[in-house]
Amino acid sequence: MRLVLIVPRFPRISETFIVNKVAGLFDAGWDIHVVCAKASLEDWDKFPALRARSVLRDRVHAQWSHEPSLLAILLWLPAFLSTLARAPRATWNYWRVAWKRFGRRTFKQFYLDANIIALSPDILHFEFGALAIGRTYLKQALDCCLSVSFRGYDLNYVGLDDPDYYAQLWSAVDGIHTLGDDLWRRAIRRGCPPATCHAIIPPAIDTVFFAPDENGHRSGPVTLERPLRILSVGRLEWKKGYEYALKAAQLLAERGIPFEYRIIGDGDYLEPLAYLRHELSRYVAGLEDRIQLLGGQPQVVVLEALNWADAYLQPSVSEGFCNAVMEAQAMRLPVVCSDADGLPENVADGLTGFVIPRRDAAALADKLALLAGDVDLRLTMGAAGRRRVEERFQLREQIAAFARFYRDMGESRAR
């Protein structure tokens, strides 16, 4: 059974979960391929799961540009003949269906879909819900199953001004995957029929890779010479709520609690956050030196930072589930996070960390101060977080769940 995943870019530093899914299903014997708008093969070795599986390079297929160049137009006929030779049945069926829908625009649409057609998938899976909008015709055109993952942003924000934004998708899709119960409930509120075939499969962690270094550095008290080490990892964007984290850092400094705060991630909010850090430093001397914006980093650097840290901070105002929080728990870090969306399903409040109301910088500061003053609490919560990940978020169990989801969907359609 051939499974084709559609993603915007592959591989991508902020989407390790897709890398792990591809590698895991490949190891499980699936004929899996990735079609993306941009193939970032120069980043391949930044991912341990890919570095060990160079054979997967041949299974990553970059689509042609959305704006055809003169050269691409000239190459259209050879591309058509190549696709026809690789997948004659799928090619002719595609033209039959697409011509009824697009007419002469089918020439351009074929140009955009050629890599997918040539693969002739049994299951076509869009890794983000918004990617599937306007492309449900592929189910009929390729005579395949169609499934979609919803990871948060696509349900929480995309198309909210249009109550029928996903209507066509709901009617066409064979299977829905969400990261948690909260997202499944949101899908239903957005119009998904409750009887739709669906699977709730949370993210998972490679607990062999994300294993803490037992160097004992976390066992000592917080002092001026050894401040509390706080870490956040994630794209610099509005939904991550970093402004509340910076305000919490200001409050910690005003209370005289020694700390060092590192943020790993890049994005459009870099300049606003740097400016806010500078502004807050006007009120607390030296604050700017305690908050480091480290930019995007490869997994090995993130791992080093997780080993460095004493506590993990996730101040999001919206969050699907959050892999970074799971990685922090796997590394025995107590987590202080907001109650945004799926985070309460991720962190056990009072056991593996603290879940506080979103947009509450004072509450973030209170819990960080509590952790700063109680080394036993940090260690106890960290150990509970590791157990939680080992018991509930193992990568092998996630891959097995995805395999069941796709297999059951394919068998159901065959019947």
What's the CATH number where 381 sits? Answer: 3.40.50.2000
The pLDDT value recorded for residue 45 is 86
The pLDDT value recorded for residue 34 is 97
Distance separating alpha carbons of residues 358 and 356, to the nearest angstrom? 6
- The answer to whether position 153 is within a domain reads yes
Q: Are residues 192 and 256 in the same domain?
A: no
Range of weakest confidence among 7-16, 60-69, 161-170, 320-329? 60-69
- The answer to whether position 209 is within a domain reads no
- Please name which of 167, 164, 126 lies closest in space to residue 144, comparing C-alpha atoms: 126
Residue 152: band (very low, low, confident or very high) from pLDDT cuts 50, 70, 90: confident
CA distances from 79 to 114, 118, 269, 373, 406 (A): 8, 10, 41, 65, 30
The pLDDT value recorded for residue 16 is 85
Residue 414: band (very low, low, confident or very high) from pLDDT cuts 50, 70, 90: low
What's the start-to-end Cα distance of the chain, in Å? 15
Give Cβ neighbours of residue 334 (< 8 Å, ≥ 6 apart).
311, 312, 352, 353, 354, 371, 377, 378, 381, 382, 385
Contacts 24+ apart (CB under 8 A), 410-413: 410/1, 410/122, 410/123, 410/145, 412/174, 412/197, 413/145, 413/174
**For residue 299, what are the domain limits?**
217-392
Q: Are residues 386 and 294 in the same domain?
A: yes
Which residues are registered as beta bridge partners of 125? 5, 147
- Taking residue 10's Cβ as centre, other Cβ atoms within 10 Å add up to 28
The pLDDT value recorded for residue 73 is 61
Q: Are residues 26 and 139 in the same domain?
A: yes
The pLDDT value recorded for residue 171 is 94
pTM listed for this prediction: 0.82
Q: What is the dihedral of CA 185, 186, 192, 195, to 10 degrees?
A: -10
- The answer to whether position 88 is within a domain reads no
Q: Are residues 232 and 182 in the same domain?
A: no
Q: Are residues 231 and 278 in the same domain?
A: yes
Distance separating alpha carbons of residues 238 and 247, to the nearest angstrom? 15
Which tens digits make up the pLDDT trace of 155-206? 988 998 999 999 999 999 999 999 989 899 999 999 999 999 999 999 898 8
Which residues are registered as beta bridge partners of 33? 4
Mean pLDDT of the chain: 91
Q: Are residues 387 and 402 in the same domain?
A: no
Q: Is the pLDDT of residue 69 over 70?
A: no
- The answer to whether position 114 is within a domain reads no
